[in-house]
Amino acid sequence: MRLENKTVVVTGAGSGLGKAVAIMAAKEGARIVMADINQAAMDTTKEEISSAGGEAIGCVVDVCKEESIVSMLNKGVETFGKVDALVNCAGIFSSIPFLELSEKDWDRMININLKGSFLCTQQFIKQVLRQNTGASIVFLSSISGFIGFTKSAHYCASKGAVRQLSKAIALEFGPQGIRSNVVAPGTIETPMNSWIIDDPEMHKQSVASIPMGRFGKSEEIASAIMFLISDEASYCTGSELLVDGGQITHC
């Protein structure tokens, strides 16, 4: 098992990619600290992990609130002794034409997708430096961090910024053995995309733009993340892994 003796912190573990990462990491032998704003959703993830013989704790966390992040990390360390990896999956999406985008819409997107990843990562690194162990961090960007999409300037901006955040951290903490990498998914079958999946015309159009002819599955993103948080990726830092079925190869 690739993650034996490791503790993996997963934000957004109640749904979609975070849920798949938490379940797959537990199957790889990791103990899981789940963080999500939605307690009920996290309970479901925990049940799946426990019934497969894995170990997980869930903490209600708003990634925009430092106190809740600190108390989640303290609980993780109290329960499992240390933390070894952080996967920043908590995030939101909304489709709003640029001229209708309010300051509130903008702030909410940037707060959760960018500031949330910053706050979680900063507190995580403080803990890792206290442990003196090294660690691996994964940020969830998106193809929207590489190319533009209409009606999602705020989302694209948040996902582009996350790429730079990861690179700066890779540089600053490489000497301490803290690796920082980005996974950039294409369009994946998660609740975030139900508005496309549930609209047959929109679904058909979206799939037509993907060389592999389908949306990705959460597990296909989780597998890429397993590599980056395992020791198999011991020399990967500052890197970006596109997992998009070829969606942006033509751009």
Ligand X SMILES: NC(=O)c1ccc[n+]([C@@H]2O[C@H](COP(=O)([O-])OP(=O)(O)OC[C@H]3O[C@@H](n4cnc5c(N)ncnc54)[C@H](O)[C@@H]3O)[C@@H](O)[C@H]2O)c1
Q: Could you give the CA distance from residue 56 to residue 50 in angstroms, rounded to a whole number?
A: 7
Give the integer Cα–Cα distance in Å for 165 and 199.
34
Is 37 a binder of ligand X (CB under 6 A)?
Answer: yes
The verdict on 16 binding ligand X (CB under 6 A) reads yes
Residue 55: strand pairing partners: 31
**b or e along 42-72 (b: 16 or more beta carbons within 10 Å of the residue's beta carbon)?**
beebbeebeeeebebbbbebbbbeeebbeeb
**Would you say 48 or 134 has its CB closer to ligand X?**
48
Is 28 one of the binding residues for ligand X (CB under 6 A)?
no
The Cα diameter of the chain in Å comes to: 52
Q: Candidates 72-80, 112-120, 174-182, 201-209: pick the segment binding ligand X (CB under 6 A).
A: 112-120
Q: Give the chain's count of helices (H) and strands (E).
A: 9, 7
φ, ψ dihedrals at 76, nearest 5°: -60, -45
One of 8, 9, 15, 121 touching ligand X (CB under 6 A):
15
Can you tell me which of 187, 230, 237, 247 binds ligand X, judged by CB under 6 A? 187
SS3 per-residue string spanning 158-220? HHHHHHHHHHHHHHHHHHHCEEEEEEEECCECCHHHHHHHCCHHHHHHHHHCCCCCCCECHHH
**Contacting range for ligand X; rule: CB under 6 A; set: 12-20, 101-109, 169-177, 223-231:** 12-20
Give me the least distance between CB of 115 and ligand X, in Å please. 10
Query: Would you name the residues annotated as active-site residues?
Result: 155
If the CB atoms of residues 77 and 192 are measured against ligand X, the closer one turns out to be 192
Residue of 54, 58, 76, 91 that binds ligand X (CB under 6 A): 91
User: Taking contact as CB under 6 A, which single stretch among the options 78-86, 108-116, 121-129, 167-175 is the one that binds ligand X?
Assistant: 108-116
Give me the residues that bind ligand X (CB under 6 A), please.
11-12, 14-18, 36-38, 41, 61-64, 89-93, 112-113, 116, 140, 142, 185, 187-188, 190-193
